[in-house]
Amino acid sequence: MRTEVHKTKDNSVCVSLHFDTKGLTLSQTPFGVIVKLEDLNSTGEPGTPALPRTQLRLALPEPFWPGSLKIVEEKWELVADAGTLVVPAQQYRPGGGGEFQGSRPAGDTTLHCAGDCTCRSIHRPDRSPVDEKDKLPASPFAPPIPEAYVEAAKNPPHIVQAVRIETIGANRIAVVEVTPIRYTLKGQLELCTHVQLAIDAVKTACMTDKDQNEAIAEFSKIYGKDVDKSRVIPEPERFISGAAEASRLRDMAISQVINPIVIGSIRRDWPIIELRSDYLIITDDVTWDPVAIAPGVSRPGLIKEFERLAEAKRARGISTRVVSITDIVAGRWGNFRAGSRDLQEVIRRFLKDVRTRWGVNWLLLGGDTSIVPVRRVAGALEGGIEPPLTVNPPANNKSFWTGSHLRIHAVNPGTWWGASTDNLLVRPDTGALIRYDAAGTSSSTSPGWYFTTADDYATRSATPTNFVRVEGPSSLVNAGLQFIYAWNTLPTDFYYASLTSWVVRTRPVRFGPVTFQMPYVYTPPHDWDAIGNGVYGQFRLDGSDIDGVNLQTELSVGRAPVETAAEANTFVNKTLAYERLGRLGWRAANRQWPRDLVLAAADWGSRAVFWPTGNAVPANGQYSHDATQSRSLLKRDAAPDSFAWDVIARITEDDRRVLPYKTDANPVVRGWYFATSATDSSPSRFQMNIFGTRISWPMRSPWVIIHGSLAERTPQMYEFNPRGADGSMADQEILRKQIRSELPGIDRHQRFYEDEFDLPFIDRIAAPVDFLTVSNLRSALDAAPHIVSLSGHGNSNGCCSLSVNTASNLTNGPLGFIAYADSCLTNQFDEEDSMSEALIKNPNGGAVAYIGNTRFSWIGVGDNFQRAFFHRLTATRHLGLLNDSRLATFGTSGFIAGADRWAIYTLNLLGDPELRVYRAAIPSLRLPLIKVKLREPFIRILGERKVPTGPPVFGDPSRSRGRWYMCDKGRSLSLQGLRMPMVSCSCLRGDLRRVNWRSRLRTMSMLSWLTLCKPRVDARWFEI
């Protein structure tokens, strides 16, 4: 996609978008055509055509608001014939765990794939190999919905649609969605090769009393009470503490929009900040019970260690303060405990207060969750129960409404589901909580739920079962519901970063063919819990907010996940080592180090293997041969979750044959197809009428029929292998090319991929690439790279052949790398030590910072966030601001935008948020050589009210205003004969080697000369 910004006579915005057919790929599969367009994601509601789309941000000049959106010009080109069936969009699946189908027969040593193979182990010496139950279940297949395809042809989406208005700094940002490929009425595909759009700029938003009254009525309906009119207002501008923060906001805005030229400097009358603290560290020497808000076990020495970091920040000119939780709770800076539910709310209220009084911009949480608690919020994905059906008793993960109560058969409604009385049951559309009924008091008028002993749902069970009975009024419980359980409860430090909590609803800004929506806000009594049910951060599957979570940050937050003074010492040492890399001494040995990048990828779509069995009906991971029918029957544990697979018969190690997909395969036609069942060998498919044609659509199933030669029917094993480059490797290659283009200073790349043989030749030769193994990756990490990117299935113990054990024993030295993982659970710092914590707390190596997910990452979503992280590095170097880039990625995943909000919560930073990331090799230091006469030398400092630069200029001191003399005791100075007050006299007392000359004179050569030669010095003075 290429963008072009046009000049306009007024303050409106006009841009052109160009899409080249060369960037379009149409891949034919048995299930339809996969459509890919460069730089765009192919998404949609499950069952609808998966077409490319993206969201773009356009800035309006300050102080204008976006008005109506107009399409000035558009050009379309036919790219596919009539009757083209695009594959349907599917549910997102988490990138955790892994996939493996079958175990080899006893005694078979052909391949290293036994049930106890290390490839199935999570690489912890204290744990057994992964159990089958711990593997992620296959996502249910969403077949094409004929009505959705017909609707897409009759009423295709507009090429550009207005989505929402955002605010970054002082600029309003118009967010638009672009869908450049559409269906025609004949079922053809068209590509928009060029579109020009214009957005009007209005001085003030068009707000009417009617609009405001309608917004008030909407809020009142949501919360069941009257809402104060004065609290419903257009979304206000954020508080900006000063020019430094304004500059950072401007840089962020420039990196996000496609027309950065309209973004100017933010000019304000900045607030007067007393006792400024740009950088704040919250820690303590004790653990805390967050519910009771009470101290626990002593952890001496943490405050002292973080004071070392604070001192280093102050030496760089950053005002820094270390605050203990004990002092916050005790009310040293105000009473934040009164009315707070838990310690998290106490800390948040404290931060909201000092943010404006102290001008805080950076926040480091100095401790693990036992010291500084984390906020846990409810995720909208997983645990869902569809609206009631008419079947009683209900099938697995379905429900039935009897007329008086709801019955739920909860077998596995979510990944790694566990039935428990600690689970929460909510209405996902409203956020209403239906509480567990432990006392047996629920009824048709008093909502509650409990377990029953059997599928008659009659007898209450005190222990968890699969049978759940829900009591309550029909208006509440006769609907789709959702369980909130361990794996969709999301730990997030974003709670301490986004300090403005309000519920947003929108009204049209102005009338026209297409209009933007004006955001109105309502501030609830409890931050992040507008519903008031004690369940924080609720949102819907489409990503819309329920509880008042504002997707912007007031503070950039990082966490030091330490519990002891020794761990805190390691964290501070690594941070200071990275910051001091540019200093003399470190510089010479490590100046090329910032160029090094390691990329690792473990396959998303794992290869599945199937071994022979003598049973007529094979078990999961097996196949059986039927000689009478000249065919073999293969059994998967579930239908495959991808459209493009190759079935390979491995006859011998050197003889591997790819079998074609053919629904008409038979004893004389080699090929394979999905069978209806173990006893019905007919092709699994369904018929549908679409685009005036009757289409037979193959249905994926766990059963596969294979025809071919005898050798192809009785191989050593069958393989189900994803066709083409695996998605994780493809994501990493896109990232590599992006970094090469946008950050040319990071140019020494090393790659480790499981699917490296599927790399195109031109990509294979672009940089060194090896097969991903534990030893290969460890050798690369021990060689001390600067940045490490990981992509693949993961868990708390690690991913991509990097485990807790390996992370704890890396020996890459004091310069830790910065790691980013597009993977599940590798940053699960709320439980036992995760891989991320092992990297951070390793005193002999590991990482200085880590960005990863505390819960699941979603395949097809997480890579968007990783690319945004590195793209932001073109505009800012601060780690916290780089991680804040995830907010700009919201909405890019299409229909299920809840996956974006999920990622915003779970992508947390372990490390110093203010740490400045190197983007290239450090320039060598060159000092000019000068000749100095040691007899009666003089130094003249040129310029008044101006800091001198370069070496001192020697000459006649007769015109100097003052005279400096060396005292007899120590290296100190006294002054005589000054004709004006000396504003920096105090800095010249004491040992000259301790003077902060960088902020005073910035002349290293003068300091060295004074210290070594002790001459009499004459100088012209200046004010600083």
Residue 599 CA to residue 829 CA, distance in Å, equals 23
Contact partners, residue 736, CB within 8 Å, separation at least 6: 597, 599, 749, 751, 766, 767
Q: With contact defined as beta carbons under 8 Å apart, do 115 and 130 qualify?
A: no
Same CATH fold assignment for domains 2-99+135-202 and 564-605+725-910: no
| pLDDT at position 103 | 39
| pLDDT at position 115 | 32
Q: With contact defined as beta carbons under 8 Å apart, do 92 and 897 qualify?
A: no
Q: With contact defined as beta carbons under 8 Å apart, do 196 and 169 qualify?
A: no
Q: Domain 2-99+135-202: which topology? A: Immunoglobulin-like (2.60.40)
**Residues of 338-370 as b/e, b for ≥16 C-beta within 10 angstroms?**
eebebbbbbbbbbbbebbebbbbbbbbbbbbbe
Task: Give residue 201's identity as a one-letter amino acid code.
Answer: A
Residue 650 CA to residue 710 CA, distance in Å, equals 13
- Cα dihedral 850→853→854→857 (10° resolution): -160
| pLDDT at position 273 | 75
Q: Is 170 helix (H, G, I), strand (E, B) or coil?
A: coil
Write down the residue that tokens 């609907």 correspond to: 479
| pLDDT at position 646 | 85
Of all helices (H) and strands (E), which one includes residue 1018? strand 1017-1019
Q: With contact defined as beta carbons under 8 Å apart, do 555 and 351 qualify?
A: yes
| pLDDT at position 520 | 76
Residue 472 has what DSSP assignment?
A: S
Domain coordinates in residue numbering, the chain: 2-99+135-202, 383-484, 564-605+725-910, 608-722, 927-1024
Residue 249 CA to residue 553 CA, distance in Å, equals 11
| pLDDT at position 99 | 38
Residue 96 has what DSSP assignment?
A: B
pLDDT mean for each 10 residues of the chain (1024 residues): 89 93 90 90 89 93 85 95 88 60 37 32 31 50 87 92 83 92 93 94 67 73 67 71 80 88 77 84 98 97 98 95 98 95 98 94 98 98 94 96 97 94 96 95 96 96 97 96 97 97 70 55 87 95 92 95 98 95 65 95 83 94 95 88 83 90 92 94 85 78 95 94 85 96 96 90 94 95 97 94 97 96 96 93 98 94 95 94 94 83 98 96 67 44 41 41 36 36 34 36 37 38 30
Backbone angles phi, psi at 79, to 5 degrees: -125, -10
Q: With contact defined as beta carbons under 8 Å apart, do 88 and 143 qualify?
A: yes
Contact partners, residue 234, CB within 8 Å, separation at least 6: 205, 207, 518, 519, 520, 521
Residue 354 CA to residue 690 CA, distance in Å, equals 61
| pLDDT at position 925 | 60
Give 218-221's long-range contacts (Cβ < 8 A, gap of 24+). Answer: 218/505, 219/503, 219/505, 219/522
Answer left, alpha or beta for residue 815, where phi above 0 means left and psi between -120 and 50 means alpha. beta
| pLDDT at position 766 | 94
Tokens of residue 356, six digits? 């404006």
Task: Give residue 169's identity as a one-letter amino acid code.
Answer: G
Q: Domain 564-605+725-910: which topology? A: Rossmann fold (3.40.50)
| pLDDT at position 690 | 77
DSSP result, 712-738: HHS-SEEEEEESSS-HHHHHHHHHHHH
